[in-house]
Structure 1
Amino acid sequence: MSDIFHKALTEDAARINVSHKTWKQVKQSRGRKRKKANWKRRLLAYGAYAAILLIMAIGISGFVSPVMAKVLQKVPIIGELYSFTNIPKLNQYASEANPSVTDKGITVSVPKAYYDGNQVILIYAIQVPEGYEPIDVSQINLTVAKILLNGKPLPIDGATGKDYLVLPNTYRGDIVWYLSSDQVSRSGMLTIPIYQVGTIKGNWTLSVSVSSEAIDNAIETFHPKDASKTHDGITITVNKVNKGPVYTTISMQVRQPLQMNNRLPIYMPLNGMEFTVYTSSHKPPIYEGFTAINPPKEVGNEVVWDDLILRCLTPPDDVKSIIVEPVLAVMYEEGVTEGSCPNIPQLAITVPIN
């Protein structure tokens, strides 16, 4: 039996086309492969070593010039610090002018700025000198800054952001300003006044050119048909969807009776209805909460909210629809604890977006 296997294996081996090489050629080939692999490893090591040297240089000098800051951003390991990593598509539509201002030995710069007429999102960097004494919270509090576009104050509905130490004497910060109105200029010079870093007062006011033109040109608008649901006296209707390259805006109307079956009315938005937006496959939500809401009005025996606006992340192109599902934050039913937050699938609306 072993002879049969030996013969079969010998025949198979004979059919394999192998170029003729001497042992010397084989050794030379292996040597070239080792050298190539070693060279690739050296390149990676050199890149990491260069990054380490740059970081050490920052630590020793305690200062990074605007020119050096731009150089650092081209190093992949460091440049990643100045990118929108949570929402990578923001990088494609962000301004990269990277203005910087130095005062009192501190340099503040804006590596990236995103603006779409509904919100402003910045990445900012702070380089401080050796001996700088940080404060426990953000070194710059931009949530209270009165930003301007073309010299006019932008209508701010709210802001969130903070900064944190990423390299020796270097802070990276993120800030989002939500605009209360989209009736603003679509492009121009954004001015960010900064008069204090930590406990040090000075003037680091920055100006950066922004534009929503590329985003506006990429928006697709849908007016979905029959995108309405009614349950327990509440009617939700999706009137319009603006699908942008990064964010999608959903415009809705909500109607409900002034008095619901002897229960207290459901007040919005603080203790009433919020919303969750899913993709059609019910993967993790791409939106939770609410973004903008106009004051309600009474129409007959109903209270009506017109143009309730939700903004969610635009799903991938292969997603054909999204599901908008309300969440009842406070219910007034016997046996239901106040403060529970059940979803209301009876009012979930499937909205086509492709």
Structure 2
Amino acid sequence: MSTLVRSRLDETYAALPERPAVQNERAPRQRLRKTASVAAATILLGATVFASGFVSPVMAKSLKQIPMVGSLFSSIEADLGLRAAGEQGLAAKVNAGVSYQDVKLDVTETVYDGTRAVFLLHVAAPNVKDGMFDTGKEAVKLSNAIDSIVFKVNGQEINGVNYASAGAANPNLLVFENVLPAVDQNEATLIPDNFHAEVLVKLAGIDHEFILDVPFQKTTKDIINLNPTASQSSDQGSLTVSEVNVTPVTTRLVTTIKLGKPLSEQLSHTRIAVYDDQGRQLPALNGEGTLEENSISFDGRFASTGKTKYLIVKPFVYEDDFSEKVREDQFIEGLELKIDLPPQSEQ
């Protein structure tokens, strides 16, 4: 499969309000070229029964060793975290499909690391050929033929599904991704390790809503959890990192930035850029923040770039969106912080 082509999302999101508040923020991203926004809803996640639908780990490992049968995630070059999931056997083979008349949708694989829930969707129909979808009025790219998509867990909608074409080698395959919140904002209920998502999809020109039952199984392989309470101070202010969670797919950091005047006026546009030990910037996904008079606390999620010995955290003032590539003149001087990570196992 060729490199997953991703362009900036159609939306940009408002900065945090200039008063104490908690706000969800999903970065406009270059990684996935489409987004389906649905109304934000409280996520009530209880214990769910994890039913069949997954191939056993032993079978999945065997399948991965057979050419052209292994995970398609391993061919995604634009997202190193998803590629690592495919290469390390963290993707689950599933068989979840629905059909209507002569149109069939099949979910073939999923990846879930506790933060990112990703699935591959194959579309088969007489009006779909080489990645083009004939709506009856015009032929459009398959990735442009999604009229709407809703992602539900336990009947509650979870906002912000991103999707894109899987590439020229698999033109009738789409990649769907949702960056899930860490907890329910009202109930503080942890998202279960195993759950089923109800995914509702409408295609252009088809008066029907496809309802998919997609099983997700969290991988616990090679996960790092740290509470370093590391900090760095300068005459500009201070940076504290209180929590670090790293999986092969996603990296999560909880940080607090305090700034003195006049920099405090820029707090609503202040975020962190994260780099691995090779100097690669981790692509920002989303996060929630609390803005106070002279500080901002942020729970941010980033795409992992592979095994790394440490992370470099650098506060900056964003201009477009907080997932941008950061120039030197955007960094806040003197607040760079290094977080050493324990060794990760060789796969």
Q: For this structure pair, what is the TM-score category when the shorter chain's length is used for normalisation? A: 0.5 to 0.7
Mapping of 1:193-208 within 5 angstroms? 193-194=200-201, 196-208=202-214
1:324 aligns with 2:313: yes
Asked if the contact 1:147–1:192 (Cα under 8 Å) also holds between the matched residues in 2, the reply is: yes
Asked if the contact 1:102–1:108 (Cα under 8 Å) also holds between the matched residues in 2, the reply is: yes
Mapping of 1:63-82 within 5 angstroms? 76=67
Which SS does the other structure have where 2:255 is aligned?
Answer: strand
User: Following the alignment from structure 2 to structure 1, what is the Cα–Cα distance between the partners of residues 169 and 310?
Assistant: 42
Match of 1:65 in 2: none
Which SS does the other structure have where 1:146 is aligned?
Answer: strand
- Once the two structures are superposed, residues 263-305 of structure 1 have per-residue CA deviations (whole angstroms, 9 ceiling, x without a partner) of 670042xxx22332222343x22x144621223134xxxx232
The letter for the 2-side match of 1:162 is: A
Could you tell me the percent identity over the aligned residues?
Answer: 16
The letter for the 2-side match of 1:296 is: L
The letter for the 2-side match of 1:222 is: L
Asked if the contact 1:329–1:340 (Cα under 8 Å) also holds between the matched residues in 2, the reply is: no
Structure 2 vs 1, CA of residues 247 and 256 (structure 1 numbering), >3 Å: closer, same or farther?
A: same
TM-score by length of 2: 0.62
Structure 2 vs 1, CA of residues 164 and 129 (structure 1 numbering), >3 Å: closer, same or farther?
A: farther
Mapping of 1:211-226 within 5 angstroms? 211-212=217-218, 214-215=219-220, 218-224=222-228
Match of 1:51 in 2: none
- Once the two structures are superposed, residues 192-245 of structure 1 have per-residue CA deviations (whole angstroms, 9 ceiling, x without a partner) of 112x22322224211122121x32x642322225x2122343211011212324
Asked if the contact 2:264–2:295 (Cα under 8 Å) also holds between the matched residues in 1, the reply is: no
- Once the two structures are superposed, residues 85-121 of structure 1 have per-residue CA deviations (whole angstroms, 9 ceiling, x without a partner) of 2332222222211312121311111111122332211
Q: Specify which structure has the bigger relative contact order, considering alpha-carbon pairs within 8 angstroms and separated by 6 or more residues.
A: 2
User: Following the alignment from structure 2 to structure 1, what is the Cα–Cα distance between the partners of residues 216 and 207?
Assistant: 27
Gaps of 5+ in 2: 1-63, 184-189, 320-326, 343-347
Match of 2:164 in 1: 162
- Once the two structures are superposed, residues 52-104 of structure 1 have per-residue CA deviations (whole angstroms, 9 ceiling, x without a partner) of xxxxxxxxxxxxxxxxxxxxx99845877575523322222222113121213
Match of 2:339 in 1: 351
Match of 1:192 in 2: 199
1:304 aligns with 2:295: yes
1:313 to 300, 304, 309: 304
The letter for the 2-side match of 1:241 is: V
Asked if the contact 1:141–1:162 (Cα under 8 Å) also holds between the matched residues in 2, the reply is: no
The letter for the 2-side match of 1:207 is: D
User: Following the alignment from structure 2 to structure 1, what is the Cα–Cα distance between the partners of residues 125 and 74?
Assistant: 20
More helix by percentage:
1
Match of 2:265 in 1: 265
- Once the two structures are superposed, residues 117-138 of structure 1 have per-residue CA deviations (whole angstroms, 9 ceiling, x without a partner) of 3221111111121586133562
Asked if the contact 1:241–1:353 (Cα under 8 Å) also holds between the matched residues in 2, the reply is: no
Gaps of 5+ in 1: 1-72, 331-338
Match of 1:292 in 2: 287
Asked if the contact 1:277–1:312 (Cα under 8 Å) also holds between the matched residues in 2, the reply is: no
User: Following the alignment from structure 1 to structure 2, what is the Cα–Cα distance between the partners of residues 109 and 304?
Assistant: 47
Instruction: Pick the structure with greater CA Rg.
Output: 1
1:145 aligns with 2:140: no
Q: Size of the alignment, in residue pairs?
A: 253
Asked if the contact 2:75–2:83 (Cα under 8 Å) also holds between the matched residues in 1, the reply is: yes
Structure 2 vs 1, CA of residues 147 and 90 (structure 1 numbering), >3 Å: closer, same or farther?
A: same
Mapping of 1:98-109 within 5 angstroms? 98-109=95-106
User: Following the alignment from structure 1 to structure 2, what is the Cα–Cα distance between the partners of residues 103 and 232?
Assistant: 64
Asked if the contact 1:114–1:121 (Cα under 8 Å) also holds between the matched residues in 2, the reply is: yes
Which SS does the other structure have where 1:89 is aligned?
Answer: helix
The letter for the 2-side match of 1:266 is: Q
Which SS does the other structure have where 1:266 is aligned?
Answer: helix
The letter for the 2-side match of 1:294 is: G
Asked if the contact 2:84–2:306 (Cα under 8 Å) also holds between the matched residues in 1, the reply is: no
Structure 2 vs 1, CA of residues 200 and 309 (structure 1 numbering), >3 Å: closer, same or farther?
A: same
The letter for the 2-side match of 1:116 is: D
1:85 aligns with 2:76: yes
Which SS does the other structure have where 2:266 is aligned?
Answer: coil
Asked if the contact 1:275–1:290 (Cα under 8 Å) also holds between the matched residues in 2, the reply is: no
